Structure 1
Amino acid sequence: MNREVDYTAKCFSAALIVLVVANHFAGFKGLLGLFPPYSFHVAGFAFVSGYLYQSKSDTSPAEFLLGRVRRLLLPGLVIYGLYGTLQTFLVRAFGFGGIQINLENWLFGFFTYGHSFALSDPMWFIGPFCLAQVAHNLLRAAIVWMGASPRLTDVISVAVCCVGGVWAVAQGG
């Protein structure tokens, strides 16, 4: 099977990788401070990994959403809850620093800030990443329904995630 290589996407991927590394290394914010750290990392990761679109994603939006809930959201929430429960035990039993689990920091924290529990820091991107996937799939279905090229979805999704990330950082989140 001979696939056509999209060099524009490859160049965009390389630029995103460089920006993410620069953000982690030196707090680089880019031209006019438009790229504060973490404002675009989830969108960049999703784009670079090619994870937003796979041929198996060619299902109905409802089927895709159900698959994401079953394979990503529920396991993520369970593991996040286990981290919170372990941290609550450590706080109560040994005076370990950190907050104790409650409904807000377990359920909403998973989707918004992801750093509720000291032990859960590596999971910060799972909730937003899942939401980005679902939004991308819904946008793709709408674009295909309108008769436009499905490739337009990637450009719009990355732009929306970057703008949303910049706005979130500007709001302090």
Structure 2
Amino acid sequence: MNTHMNTLKALGIIIVVTGHIAGYVFPPYSFHMPLFVFIFGYFYKTSHQARIFNYVKKKFKDLVIPYYKWNLFYGILVFILTSINLITFGQSLSFHSFFVESWLSGHQYLFNLAAWFVLSLFLIQIIYILSGALLNKFGISNEFLLMGIYLVIGLGQRFMLLNKR
């Protein structure tokens, strides 16, 4: 990995930590989370589209399996600490909290709060490769078009959230 990307990752980590400690300099998640997605996307190779199943399997093994291993650890930890009345927060360990809630919010065990990004990153990568493959089926292989589509979707979502208030 090159020095520029390491510098960008360090900057992203500093911005995340600063945002959680000192309040938000930018609106929540408007800058630092897209920065991490950009960094991961920078290393994406279009050659993966030839082997989509292998790509999804590898990402599942690299991101989702370790996520659930850690989530199980934190679920058991929260269960033990609530059983002895040491803490009174976090959901109890159940099928729903372990498998379902992790995809909905990722905030079920609180000690593992920051891990929500792992599943989000997995979904982003899978959606990206599938949508790229779909466009390729129509003879379109333009990364800028795909970026534009995602930009419009993101801005539209933000616009809808702002107008909902």
Q: Tell me how far 1:81 sits from its aligned partner.
A: 1.8
Moved over 6 A (4+): 168-172
The residue that corresponds to 1:4 in the other structure is none
Q: Secondary structure at the match of 1:124?
A: helix
Cα distance in 1 for residues equivalent to 2:121 and 2:162 = 16
User: What is the RMSD of the two structures over their aligned residues, measured on CA atoms?
Assistant: 3.6
TM-score of the pair, normalised by structure 1:
0.66
Q: How does 1:1-173 map to 2 (within 5 A)?
A: 21=15, 24=19, 26-27=23-24, 36-38=27-29, 42-51=33-42, 53-54=44-45, 57-99=48-90, 100-151=92-143, 152-161=145-154, 163-164=156-157
With a CA cutoff of 8 Å and minimum separation of 6, indicate the structure with the bigger relative contact order: 1
Distance 1:67 1:169, change over 3 A: farther
Cα distance in 1 for residues equivalent to 2:159 and 2:96 = 24
Distance 1:81 1:169, change over 3 A: farther
Decide which structure has greater helix share.
2
Count residues with an aligned counterpart: 151
5+ residue gaps, structure 1: 1-13, 30-35
Whether the aligned pair in 1 keeps the contact of 2:49 and 2:133 (CA below 8 Å) is: no
Q: Tell me how far 1:94 sits from its aligned partner.
A: 4.0
Cα distance in 1 for residues equivalent to 2:95 and 2:46 = 36
Distance 1:55 1:68, change over 3 A: same
Q: Tell me how far 1:166 sits from its aligned partner.
A: 6.7
Over the matched positions of the two proteins, sequence identity in percent amounts to: 19
Whether the aligned pair in 2 keeps the contact of 1:42 and 1:128 (CA below 8 Å) is: no
TM-score of the pair, normalised by structure 2:
0.69
Q: Tell me how far 1:27 sits from its aligned partner.
A: 3.2
Cα distance in 2 for residues equivalent to 1:98 and 1:168 = 29
Q: Tell me how far 1:46 sits from its aligned partner.
A: 0.8
Q: Tell me how far 1:167 sits from its aligned partner.
A: 5.6
Q: Which amino acid aligns with 1:143?
A: L
Cα distance in 1 for residues equivalent to 2:130 and 2:161 = 22
Q: Tell me how far 1:70 sits from its aligned partner.
A: 1.9
Q: Tell me how far 1:37 sits from its aligned partner.
A: 1.4
